[in-house]
Amino acid sequence: MRYFASAVVVLLSLCPVSPAAPRSITPEDLWKVRRLGAPSIAPDGSRVVCDVTTWNMEKDEPRSELWLFASDGSGQTPLTNSGGRNSSPRWSPDGKLIAFASQRAGDSVAQIYVIDPAGGEARRVSKLPYAAGSLKWSPDSKTIYAVAWTWPGCATDAEHKRREQELKDNKAKGVVITEAAYRYWDRWLSDGKRPTVVAVDLASGNHRNVLAHTGKHLLPTEPSANDFDISPDSKELCFAADSANDYGADYNLDLYSLDLTTPNAAIKLLTADNPGSDGQPAYSPDGKRIAFVRQTVKYFYADRARVMVYDRATGQSTEFCPPGRPLDRSAGNLRWLPIDDAQGGATVLAEVEDRGYVRLGLFSATDPARLLPGPSGDRSPDVAKANATVAFLRSSFDRPGQLYVGDPRGAKRRIDKFNDDLTSEWKLGKVEEQSIPGAGDKPIQTWIVYPPDFDPTKKWPIVQMVHGGPHNAITNEFSYRWNPHVWAARGWVVAIVNFHGSSGFGQEFTDSITGDLGTKPFDDVMKVTDWLLKKPWADGDRLAAAGGSYGGYMMAWMNGHTDRFKAMVCHAGVYNWHSMMASDSVRGRERSLGAPPWGDLTRVDKQNAQRLASNFKTPTLVVHGEKDYRVPVTQGFEYYNTLRQKGVPTRLLYYPDENHWVLKAHNALLWHREVFGWIEKYCGAGPK
């Protein structure tokens, strides 16, 4: 069946097709895009595998299949055709097999499969009682490691199944909670399950919970294959786990090592020197060092993430850069290059956010960090161990993720052929990158996205799209949720301000709003608005603003400080800092607000949009999801009720089945209809 499908693809490609007339991009187009997952490159660099996701609109669910790509760009071939989800493909170090996770007929949960890259049927390897994901091979290609959820200390399948059955059979559904962290994002943690690392033997399929005896587990936030690594001799595991006694009330992510050759071996703490977070371990090719990422400021998720190296012989950790020459940017997703740089020093490749872009960076002990040039956003690198060929995904405001391969220090080439027909239909407006004086006359990066067929002799409405975080800049990458081209296609000029506090502009800039979350970002947005209104094409009577999360907070904050906007959209916005104690993440807000909820309440109130309610005048659409545990849904209810009681025009879009984001296709299409309809009601669309 797989080969027949390949033949159909070839035949269709030979048939002449009349090019479609250019048209504006629509919300529906976001669900027609084939979405490429993180690539895995063959050890010899000749081929790349990744999962490619399409969306079934009828079922409102995704389907992911594995595709194989020639690194010279000569072809792409489907490797699976099973339906459902085939994900997390990883090439074995010996080049013979590709492992992946899939739930197929007869599987109660996602299991580990392997397939020959030459073709044929996939073979199920694992017999796990829990779902497997985030795969990683042992360097000897004999074992596949994965992330799975079970109870700490649960060493056997029988014990796991017993506890599962007890939960199912218990007629009392009340839950007793004593932990500080009991839910995260959109899932509850109160059942006691935590993510662990399981090892599955390729030959027999036997498996074991590697961490069962250690008393440790991976963080129950977003566990991934970046949280652990296996030494080149396949004898040691390094993993990241929290050392704090009361996770949620305290945080201290550390690296631990575990001897895999000795049953019930004791774990070794490697990063006791740092009270902050240490994670993402990666063994060097010679096994002498472990690269990792370090943050030194506790309770601050946007602290600079440094590339560090742990020397296994001396037990010392040092920043991986020439003495006194660190890079004032955060890095992550580390990969060692198997070939040393020109000066003889080992090199680490990493993702680095820099001034509105995500670039690949090279780090070594001998040279200053080098950011590789690129026109857009580069992510998810993987490196061939034989020759250092790198595969990665590149996207921009204009293009969904594309698969690239090349020399990390030299030329790169695109090797996938997905989405070309779709994107060739789109007529997109121009994107400008401007530096505009903001608060304190500090230059502020601003993206401006124009409508297609923009005519500067006419008057155009303006929409300020305010990002969340607040320490998450808008980078030049394709978005499936807040896509500025989709907004601009409605006939609005879209402005995106990377205001004070945004990431990627240095630690001082990121930390500049600590203890005063609203003032500088508001000034930045207002000054950029003033700059835009000086343009002859700007229609000052048709201004709107929209934002999510912290950007939603800014909608309420702006509503309390100005009435110059005709309409606003507040998605998953923080309205009242005091009631944000119901959030899944509360410990870090003491630092960001400058006081705990029981401390200097005057200081907290100065940053609280709820205290500005008497000034609210701007018509506002409020959007919130029931499963949003980061900004609980009551924040949206509070804001909507306040506007409604005051007589300010408002509308509530509530999702019982979405979290902080709107991720389902039909929900997202409704979201766009409501958001666009609200702005058009008060600002119209297109030029005058």
pLDDT, tens digit (0-9, with 9 covering 90-100), for 19-74: 567 999 999 999 999 999 999 999 999 999 999 999 999 999 999 999 999 999 99
Higher pLDDT, 411 or 7: 411
Q: Are strands 253-259 and 268-269 parallel, antiparallel or unpaired?
A: antiparallel
Please check the confidence at residue 652 and state whether its pLDDT lies above 70.
yes
667 phi, psi to nearest 5 deg = -65, -40
The pLDDT, as a whole number, for residue 245 is 81
Name the E strands within 228-356. 228-230, 236-242, 253-259, 268-269, 277-283, 289-295, 306-311, 317-319, 331-336, 348-354
Strands 47-56 and 35-36: antiparallel
∠ CA 320-321-326, rounded to 5°: 115
Kind of pairing between the strands at 228-230 and 133-137: unpaired
How far apart are the C-alpha atoms of 525 and 75, rounded to whole Å?
A: 46
pLDDT band for 488, please (50, 70, 90 cuts): very high
Q: Where are the domains of the chain?
A: 430-683
Question: Measured between alpha carbons, how far is 94 from 91 in angstroms, rounded to an integer?
Answer: 8
Q: Which residues contact 350 (CB under 8 A, 6 or more apart)?
A: 307, 331, 332, 333, 334, 335, 360, 361, 363, 381
> Does residue 13 carry a pLDDT above 70?
no
Phi, psi of 591 (to 5 degrees): -75, -45
Which residues on adjacent β-strands are paired with residue 194? 150
The CA-atom distances, in angstroms, between 326 and each of 103, 190, 245, 294, 572 are 45, 41, 32, 13, 36
**Per-residue pLDDT for 492 more than 70?**
yes
Whether pLDDT at 578 is above 80: yes
Provide the pLDDT confidence category of residue 597 given band limits of 50, 70 and 90.
confident
Output DSSP code: residue 332.
E
Band (pLDDT 50/70/90 cuts) for residue 364 is: very high
Q: State percent of the chain over pLDDT 90.
A: 92
User: How much is the average pLDDT of 352-373?
Assistant: 94
| Cα dihedral 652, 655, 661, 665 sign | negative
Tell me: the pLDDT tens digits for 397-423? 999 999 999 999 889 999 999 999 999
Q: How many C-beta neighbours within 10 Å does residue 301 have?
A: 16
Angstrom distance (rounded) from CA 241 to CA 277: 10
576-580-581-586 Cα dihedral, nearest 10 degrees: -130
pLDDT at 3 over 90: no
Q: Which residue has the tokens 């020197």?
A: 273
What the block records as the tokens of 235 is: 């004898």
On whether the CB atoms of residues 619 and 682 are closer than 8 A, the answer is yes
Residue indicated by tokens 């499936």:
480
Is a pLDDT exceeding 50 seen at residue 12? no
Per-residue CA distances from 677 to 181, 620, 649, 681 (Å): 39, 12, 14, 6
pLDDT tens-digit readout, 527-569:
999 999 999 999 999 999 999 999 999 999 999 999 999 999 9
DSSP string, 114-138: EE-TT-S--EE----SS--EEEEE-
Nearest CA to 574 out of 501, 635, 627 is that of 635
Give one DSSP letter per residue of 49-74, joined into a string. Answer: EEEEEEEETTTTEEEEEEEEEETTSS
Q: Band of the pLDDT at 1, cuts 50, 70, 90? A: very low
For residue 92, the model assigns a pLDDT of 98
Give me the CATH topology for the region 430-683.
Rossmann fold (3.40.50)
CA distances, 127 to each of 103, 136, 313 (Å): 12, 17, 38
- Chain-centroid distance, C-alpha 454: 32
Please tell me the predicted confidence (pLDDT) of residue 7: 34
pTM of the model as a whole: 0.94
Judge whether 588 and 300 are in contact, CB under 8 Å.
yes
pLDDT greater than 70 at residue 342: no
For position 5, what pLDDT does the model report? Answer: 34
pLDDT of residue 20: 63
φ, ψ of residue 142 in degrees (nearest 5): -100, -20
Give the C-alpha separation, 65 to 85, whole Å: 7
Separation CA 476–CA 377 (nearest Å): 6
89 φ/ψ angles, rounded to the nearest 5 degrees:
-70, 135
- Write down the pLDDT at residue 673: 98
Q: Is the pLDDT of residue 633 over 50?
A: yes
Question: Sheet harboring 268-269: ordered strands across?
Answer: 228-230, 236-242, 253-259, 268-269
Please compute the mean of the pLDDT values over residues 379-400 and round it to a whole number: 97
Q: Write the DSSP symbol of residue 510.
A: H
Average pLDDT of span 200-224: 97
Helix 519-533 vs helix 550-559: angle between axes, to the nearest 10 degrees?
A: 70
Residue with tokens 């907004």: 487
> Residue 91 above 50 pLDDT?
yes
For residue 85, the SS3 value is strand
Token pair 């008060």: residue = 682
